[in-house]
Chain A
């Protein structure tokens, strides 16, 4: 399986966990998972990138949409366990400035 996404929920937060390669063909799977939780303003929404091996501008676009929507709702959001090569792309594109990163 090239890309997998699953969602876990605890009392405090909803965590979306991704694994594999996020590109034009797999981005819709992440969009769908995010859409199911993005309006849950009662809990922190966490996107866990620990298993992410690859991202392109399509995947960055999905992350930007998630951050925008949570900002619009004044709801907490965090992106965690960002692998160094993914972090580098977030830095190059300037997306990093919008991340409240937890390790």
Chain B
């Protein structure tokens, strides 16, 4: 197993859907080297993609400044993934309040809104969203 503790790996991608898989593949390489379980890696892949999805979909509506920075910070107990965009700030509190699983019994009342943020919260150990000069999502997963 490669020791990659207390290191930082950075990735800058265009804010386009076609590049989101590159973030997942990078995450896979780092997390596998650190000894994360298969299941934990799958969880992180979904969570980081949801954060990048949000940046791609919402951050740059009507703007040309289109990039997303992703940073993987490794430490003894686990990994932090930071997804940062520079687009329109996003109301983190209101987004968090919409984060929920599907609770309705009637399929006609089900929407997919809020599922992405809900998945981030459900699949990571800690999620923090701040909005200042764009939006930054900081997600932490601990080695179990």
Contact A94 B17 (CB under 8 A): no
Q: Chain B: how many interface residues by the 8 Å CB criterion?
A: 29
Q: Check if A57 is an interface residue, CB within 8 A of chain B.
A: yes
Contact with B along A74-103 (1 / 0, CB 8 A): 000000000001000100111101100000
Interface residues on A, range: 20 to 34
* Segment 84-128 of B: residues with Cβ below 8 Å from A: 101-103, 105, 107-108, 110-112, 115-116, 118-119, 122-123
| B116, closest chain A residue (CB) | A57
Which residues of chain A are within 8 angstroms of B42 by Cβ–Cβ distance? 85
Q: Check if A56 is an interface residue, CB within 8 A of chain B.
A: yes
Which residues of chain A are within 8 angstroms of B57 by Cβ–Cβ distance? 24
Contact A93 B107 (CB under 8 A): no
New A-B pairs, 12, CB < 8 Å, besides A56-B49, A57-B116, A64-B107: A24-B56, A25-B17, A56-B53, A57-B115, A61-B115, A64-B110, A64-B111, A72-B108, A85-B39, A89-B46, A93-B102, A94-B103
28 A-B pairs in the complex with CB atoms less than 8 angstroms apart: A2-B21, A23-B20, A23-B21, A23-B53, A24-B17, A24-B56, A25-B17, A25-B18, A25-B20, A54-B45, A56-B49, A57-B112, A58-B53, A60-B112, A60-B115, A61-B112, A64-B107, A67-B107, A68-B107, A71-B107, A72-B108, A85-B39, A89-B119, A92-B119, A93-B115, A93-B119, A94-B101, A94-B102
- Chain B residues at the A interface, C-beta cutoff of 8 Å: 17-18, 20-21, 24, 39, 42, 45-46, 49-50, 53, 56-57, 101-103, 105, 107-108, 110-112, 115-116, 118-119, 122-123
